[in-house]
Amino acid sequence: MDERQTHRQHPPPLGAFKLLSAQMELGDKAVGFLLTLTSISIFTYYTFWVIILPFVDSDHFVHKYFLPQEYAILIPVLAGVVLLSFLSVFVGLVMLKSKKKKKSN
């Protein structure tokens, strides 16, 4: 026998892999479902707020469930600015760390 054949590593038992895979898959599906449900809820709320609500009488009871119309623009703009700020800081930190590693080598 060849030396490579005698020291061959055996793969893990398939039963353990399938069990672990099934548990991870179930968790991933639950997180995916919650994220999808949250996204659809936010989209529906925002769409109703921005597109439909301006055509509803201002004394209608449904207006008490929504913020004033000015916030329909302000909130997404602020969220975008915060997201871009964090992204810029992250990219800057990665660039600085990469530059330090090159100097030390």
| 83 pLDDT above the threshold of 90 | yes
Which domain does 76 fall in, by range?
69-104
Confidence of residue 12 (pLDDT cuts 50, 70, 90): low
In this prediction, residues 40-63 reach a mean pLDDT of 93
Q: Report how many domains make up the chain.
A: 2
Same domain, 62 and 20: yes
In a domain, 6, yes or no: no
Same domain, 82 and 62: no
In a domain, 1, yes or no: no
pLDDT given for residue 48 in this prediction = 94
Q: What is the pLDDT of residues 53-71, one digit of tens each?
A: 999 998 999 999 999 989 9
pLDDT given for residue 104 in this prediction = 75
In a domain, 8, yes or no: no
Cα–Cα distance list, 99 to 10, 86, 89, 90, 105 (Å): 42, 20, 15, 14, 10
Same domain, 62 and 78: no
| 6 pLDDT above the threshold of 60 | no
